[in-house]
């Protein structure tokens, strides 16, 4: 993938190391990393910071938040990569959405976090993986997911990472087109259709990611090896493959994102056509 490392996108909100929410009803919501920090603080200051996890505490436990040092220094290569991809994807949609969808494109934000953060859709945790929140129009991602994508799912490479981000921005395009809202209302009116409709949304976002991939091919940013990496990434996160990896029986009725074959085909469809219209009936 041809790109030049640069600065951080104006649409990136870096919350890594920004701090943890403590206390409140039900106690705090922090990841494993946060719990380890509390353990270290307890040993250093001889105070039971871990009591905060239960929400009860004792009279020596502080009531304020425990805050990490924010990320400082020049951005690392991965942050620069996601910044480049985010800006390129959104610049592409700034042109294509008015032309093909008769809608103006409005930028989404990308939130980088570690372990846990708050979102307009509730708690965001590393374990949930990358996601788009239509309420605040932000994409949330713990960059550690890319290590999992490479090592656990067998989808290494920068274009594989770019596919993930382009997919999430695809959900933003769905909101701007009114698709996300329409599907959400149908899911609420007919809960039994929730999984089926969810699969349709996810496959369409894969197809939208493919539209951006088509643009990168036209501009000679990627080569055949990059495209294959993107296709592998789409296949690697298919519901059937994940269920097998977890030692479970493959149950199509429980799919929420689509099978490996469906996800690969959806991405390929957008890649081949470069057209929104080609993505309106993916399945």
Mean pLDDT of 11-40: 56
pTM strictly above 0.75: yes
Give percent of the chain above pLDDT 70.
79
- On the question of pLDDT at 34 being above 80, the answer is no
- On the question of pLDDT at 36 being above 70, the answer is no
**Pair of tokens at residue 61:** 């436990």
Residue 283: band (very low, low, confident or very high) from pLDDT cuts 50, 70, 90: low
Mean pLDDT of 117-133: 92
Mean pLDDT of 103-129: 94
For 218, the 3-state DSSP assignment is helix
**Angle at CA of residue 182, ends 179 and 183, nearest 5°:** 85
Residue 253 CA to residue 251 CA, distance in Å, equals 5
Mean of per-residue pLDDT scores for the chain: 83
**pLDDT tens string 204-251:** 999 999 999 999 999 999 889 888 888 888 888 899 988 998 899 999
**pLDDT tens string 149-186:** 888 887 778 888 999 999 999 999 999 999 999 999 99
Backbone CA torsion sign across 239, 244, 245, 248: positive
The b/e string for 155-164 (b: 16+ C-beta within 10 A; e otherwise) is bbbbbbbbbb
pLDDT for 282 = 79
Mean pLDDT of 110-117: 94
Give burial (CB, 10 Å; 0-12/13-18/19+) of 111.
Answer: buried
Residue 3: band (very low, low, confident or very high) from pLDDT cuts 50, 70, 90: confident
**Angle at CA of residue 143, ends 139 and 148, nearest 5°:** 115
- On the question of pLDDT at 59 being above 50, the answer is no
pLDDT for 133 = 97
pLDDT for 18 = 67
pLDDT for 153 = 82
**pLDDT tens string 88-106:** 999 999 999 999 999 999 9
Q: Calculate the alpha carbon distances from 269 to 1, 165, 176, 214 in Å.
A: 20, 18, 21, 10
**pLDDT tens string 64-86:** 343 444 455 556 889 999 999 99
pLDDT for 71 = 52
Mean pLDDT of 265-278: 96
Reference 162, options 68, 98, 227; nearest CA is 227
């Amino acid at each position: 993938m041809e790109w030049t490392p640069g600065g951080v996108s104006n649409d990136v909100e870096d919350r890594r190391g920004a701090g943890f929410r403590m206390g409140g009803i039900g106690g705090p919501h922090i990841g494993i990393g946060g719990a380890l920090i509390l353990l270290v603080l307890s040993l250093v200051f001889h105070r039971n910071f871990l009591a905060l996890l239960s929400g009860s505490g004792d009279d020596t436990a502080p009531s304020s938040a425990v805050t990490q040092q924010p990320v400082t220094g020049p951005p690392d290569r991965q942050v620069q990569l996601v910044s480049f991809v985010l800006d390129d994807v959104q610049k592409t949609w700034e042109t294509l959405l008015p032309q093909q969808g008769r809608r103006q494109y409005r930028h989404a934000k990308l939130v980088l976090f570690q372990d846990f953060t708050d979102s307009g859709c509730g708690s965001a945790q590393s374990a949930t993986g990358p996601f788009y929140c239509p309420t605040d129009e932000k994409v949330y991602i713990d960059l550690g997911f890319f290590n999992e994508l490479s090592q656990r799912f067998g989808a290494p490479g920068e274009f594989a990472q770019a596919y993930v981000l382009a997919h999430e921005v695809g959900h933003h395009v769905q909101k701007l087109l009114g698709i996300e809202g329409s599907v959400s209302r149908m899911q609420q009116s007919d809960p039994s259709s929730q999984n089926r409709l969810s699969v349709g949304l996810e496959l369409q976002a894969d197809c939208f990611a493919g539209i951006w991939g088509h643009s990168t091919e036209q501009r000679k940013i990627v080569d055949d090896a990059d495209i294959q990496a993107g296709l592998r990434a789409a296949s690697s996160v298919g519901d059937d493959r994940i269920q097998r990896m977890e030692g479970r029986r493959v149950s199509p009725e429980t799919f929420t994102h689509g099978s490996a074959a469906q996800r690969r085909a959806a991405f390929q469809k957008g890649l081949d056509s470069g057209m929104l219209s080609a993505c309106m009936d993916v399945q």
